[in-house]
Structure formats: structure tokens, C-alpha cells
């Protein structure tokens, strides 16, 4: 959902500066537990999200059933946009929504600024989330700073009609058997682009690199938060992705760009890494396009891409109401409905076994049993990349290094060396 970035500088505040500003403003502008009401006596709780959370129908359901608290969604296109707004208004001490959605990769930095957010720990909610998901939102003092929404087990979305054009199998089980490893996936792609030269094999070099990073245990930092980007596993991902650019396997388009969005409509590519939340994005961008399917496979085993959290900023006026709404939106029942709406795969234990998940199919993807596939893909995840406080900023720099090769502004070796320098400059 959620973390691809067009610029290494856009929307960032240095962590040290942010900390100093927060300490100054939170004292003067702390939240008021008493809340604030509208003229008619109701309290409006604003919920800021990005991409697709599947909340539209849920919010309508809540508002129809509640007179005292109303939910208003504030939605932007990408985490980039949300992040810029979040950091700016955290520093200002005011202006944030009552509930702010946070992309999962940013949670280590958010935990480092836990005083700017409300502790959401609630004994009644113990055990709601998968353990590894709850840990991502819990700081060293045991405070839960965010309620997890979804996780992102990955399968492969593919255009069966374009596979047929290339003389490849189209049945999803057969397709899954063709790409169990990354070597198989890329070899199949080379064969594909030879037969269908006007169509790329996958949607984005950066997106593909993210999918591969999700299988690296320590891509950027060691477990003690030491930055260590000059490591063989990370370099292998960089070399593999940039090496395939020249072979025509990538669209060479920045993910989330207008051109990338348009490529869904003009046979721009044949496959893409698809966490559950991406299914709704594909369906929206490829509206009217026939031939999409979803395979129960991910090269190299399993991978989790994304997942988000709902936080309650301490600067808000409706803290108690916001906590109530955040708990409701992340309850198993609501997450099952969000999955049905946009494919956001639940992080809640009870939801995973619900018939709404296990029996779910998607007509747009040739009636693929998406619930079963995503559950299988979740079980296949064996590695969770370590994400320290600098993960998000280093990821931005890494993605920028891929984009420079994509757009031809730098050769791979030059771009890699600039990446190393950019990371060193982060301090």
C-alpha cells in the first residue's frame, strides 16, 4: 500500500529536528481528552488514509448507526503525500486528523516519537493481531502506538491474455509452477518480451525491487540499528533489478506515476508483485481491461509487502472518540469487510479464519480464490526484514538509485555509489 517514493527529499524532516520541534510544541499544544463537538452536539472524528483502505462503506455503516460520533475520511493518493503532511503538522503541533494512518515501514520512526501519539494499549484487545504485527506497533516500554489494519502477503498478478499471446500457459496453477524462483521468473520474462516485444514483463523496477527486499532479513540495518547497506544481499537485489532494465523486462516507469497508471490500460506489462492491497489498485487502474488473473505463487517463497496502522496523534481534540473509532475500524469484522471491498488482507487472528476470507473470490481476476491464495501466501512468509528507525529514509534513497538507472540519468555503478553516499549523508 503504500511506500514508493519519487524523490529522496520530498516530504521529509530530519529525525533530530522533528524531535526538537515536537518537544517544544507538545507541551503547549497537547490533546484534550474532553473532545470537541459540532454545533449539533455530535463529534466528528477525522480519519486520514492513503491509497485504498476499503473504509468507504464502513464509514457509511458507522455514520448510519451513530448519532453522537461521525467519521469523516481524509484521503490522499500515496503514503508520500500522507507522510509529508504528517511530519509537517506534527512539527507545527496542530492540524492533523484525529486518526492518522501510518505505512508499516514508517512505524520504527513513529515509535521513536511515541510521545507525539496516544498509547492505545487496551487489555480487551490483547491477542487481536498476529504477534509479529503487534510487535511492529509496540515500543520498548510496552505501549501500543498503532492499531494494525492489514498485512501484505504477496502473489503474482498476471495478464492471462498476454500470456496466451506469448504462447505461455494461462491457467493459474500452471503459471504458479513456472515461477517458483526468481531465476525462473526472470527467465520466463526474457522469453515473454522476445515474443511480445511491445509489452514489458513487470510493471516497475522499483516495485520489483521492493518485492525482492521483502525477502532480505537485514537489507539496510543490523539488529542493533547499525546502518550496513554495503552488503552482498542488498547489492544482489540492486544488480538483478538494474541488470534486467536493459533487457526490456521493466516498464521503466515510477510506480504510482501517471504513466504507470496509464500502462494498465495499454498492455504496458504482463505481471506484477501483488500484495492483497494491490488487488484493488489493479482493478481500479485496469477498469474495463479483460484478462487479469492472480497466481498462488511468489518467486523465492513468500514475502510480505506493506500493511498499515491507525494512530491517534496526541495533539487532537477528540482523543477518546478517536480511540473508539480506531478500535472499531480494526476489529476483525470490519477488516473482513475491508478485504471484500479492496483486498486488504486482515492482520487480525479471528478474521483469517472467517468465511468472508477463506471463501473470497474476485470476479475481476477471473474468479480467483483470493482469500485462499493470500492465506497460503501469508503462511509462506518466513522472513520479515528488520526495519530500524532509518529504514524508511534508506529505502527512499535505494528506490531513487533504481529510478536513476530507469530514466537513464546514471549507469548502475554510478547510481549505486551515489546511494552509498546518500545513506552516509543521513548520519
pLDDT band at 20 (very low <50, low <70, confident <90, very high): very low
pLDDT digits (tens, 9 = 90+) for 297-329: 999 999 999 899 999 999 999 999 999 999 999
Q: Considering the chain, tell me which residue range(s) the CATH 3.40.190.10 domain(s) occupy.
A: 15-151+306-358, 154-301+384-425
Per-residue pLDDT at 34 exceeds 60: no
Across the range 371-397, mean pLDDT stands at 91
What pLDDT is stored for residue 386 in this prediction? 92
Q: What is the mean pLDDT of the chain?
A: 90
What pLDDT is stored for residue 287 in this prediction? 97
Per-residue pLDDT at 152 exceeds 60: yes
Domain 154-301+384-425 in CATH: superfamily? Periplasmic binding protein-like II (3.40.190.10)
Which DSSP string corresponds to 375-418?
Answer: HHHHHT--------TTHHHHHHHHHHHHHHHHTTSS-HHHHHHH
pLDDT digits (tens, 9 = 90+) for 84-126: 999 999 999 999 999 999 999 899 989 999 999 999 999 999 9
Residues contacting residue 86 through CB under 8 Å, at least 6 positions apart: 96, 100, 102
Tally of helices (H runs) and strands (E runs) in the chain:
19, 11
pLDDT band at 3 (very low <50, low <70, confident <90, very high): very low
pLDDT band at 19 (very low <50, low <70, confident <90, very high): very low
The answer regarding whether domain 15-151+306-358 maps to CATH 3.50.50.60 reads no
Closest CA relative to residue 298, chosen from 411, 400, 413, 182: 182
What pLDDT is stored for residue 191 in this prediction? 98
Q: How far apart are CA 293 and CA 286, in angstroms?
A: 12
Per-residue pLDDT at 8 exceeds 60: no
What pLDDT is stored for residue 39 in this prediction? 60
Amino acid at each position: 500500500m503504500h511506500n514508493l517514493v519519487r524523490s529522496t527529499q520530498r516530504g521529509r524532516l530530519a529525525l533530530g529536528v522533528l524531535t526538537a520541534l515536537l518537544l517544544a510544541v507538545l507541551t503547549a499544544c497537547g490533546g484534550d481528552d474532553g473532545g470537541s463537538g459540532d454545533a449539533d452536539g455530535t463529534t466528528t472524528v477525522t480519519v486520514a488514509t492513503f491509497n485504498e483502505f476499503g473504509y468507504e462503506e464502513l464509514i457509511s455503516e458507522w455514520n448510519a448507526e451513530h448519532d453522537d460520533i461521525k467519521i469523516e475520511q481524509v484521503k490522499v493518493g500515496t503514503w508520500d503525500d500522507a507522510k509529508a503532511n504528517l511530519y509537517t503538522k506534527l512539527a507545527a503541533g496542530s492540524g492533523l486528523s484525529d486518526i492518522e494512518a501510518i505505512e508499516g515501514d514508517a512505524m520504527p520512526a513513529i515509535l521513536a516519537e511515541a510521545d507525539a501519539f496516544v498509547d492505545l494499549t487496551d487489555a480487551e484487545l490483547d491477542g487481536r493481531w498476529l504477534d509479529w504485527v503487534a510487535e511492529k506497533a509496540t515500543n520498548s516500554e510496552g505501549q501500543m502506538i498503532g492499531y494494525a489494519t492489514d498485512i501484505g502477503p504477496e502473489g503474482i498478478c498476471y495478464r492471462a491474455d498476454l500470456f496466451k499471446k506469448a504462447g505461455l500457459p494461462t491457467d493459474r496453477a500452471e503459471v504458479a509452477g513456472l515461477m517458483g524462483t526468481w531465476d525462473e521468473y526472470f527467465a520466463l520474462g526474457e522469453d515473454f518480451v522476445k515474443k511480445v516485444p511491445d509489452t514489458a514483463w513487470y510493471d516497475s523496477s522499483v516495485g520489483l525491487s521492493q518485492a525482492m527486499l521483502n525477502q532480505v532479513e537485514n537489507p539496510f540495518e543490523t539488529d542493533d540499528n547499525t546502518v550496513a547497506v554495503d552488503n552482498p544481499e542488498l547489492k544482489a537485489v540492486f544488480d538483478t533489478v538494474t541488470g534486467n532494465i536493459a533487457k526490456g523486462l521493466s516498464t521503466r516507469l515510477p510506480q504510482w506515476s501517471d504513466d504507470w497508471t496509464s500502462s494498465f490500460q495499454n498492455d504496458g506489462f504482463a505481471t506484477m508483485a501483488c500484495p492483497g492491497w494491490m488487488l484493488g489498485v489493479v482493478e481500479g487502474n485496469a477498469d474495463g481491461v479483460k484478462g487479469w488473473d492472480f497466481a498462488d505463487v511468489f518467486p523465492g517463497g513468500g514475502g510480505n509487502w506493506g500493511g498499515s496502522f491507525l494512530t491517534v496523534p496526541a495533539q487532537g481534540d477528540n482523543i477518546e472518540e478517536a480511540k473508539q473509532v480506531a478500535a472499531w475500524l480494526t476489529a476483525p469484522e470490519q477488516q473482513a469487510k475491508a478485504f471484500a471491498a479492496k483486498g486488504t488482507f486482515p492482520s487480525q487472528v479471528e478474521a483469517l479464519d472467517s468465511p468472508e476470507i477463506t471463501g473470497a473470490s474476485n470476479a475481476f481476476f477471473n474468479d480467483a480464490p483470493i482469500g485462499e491464495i493470500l492465506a497460503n501466501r501469508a503462511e509462506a512468509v518466513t522472513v520479515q526484514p528488520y526495519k530500524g528507525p532509518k529504514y524508511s529514509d534508506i529505502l527512499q534513497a535505494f528506490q531513487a538509485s533504481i529510478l536513476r538507472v530507469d530514466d537513464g540519468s546514471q549507469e548502475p555503478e554510478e547510481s549505486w555509489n551515489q546511494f552509498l553516499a546518500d545513506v552516509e549523508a543521513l548520519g
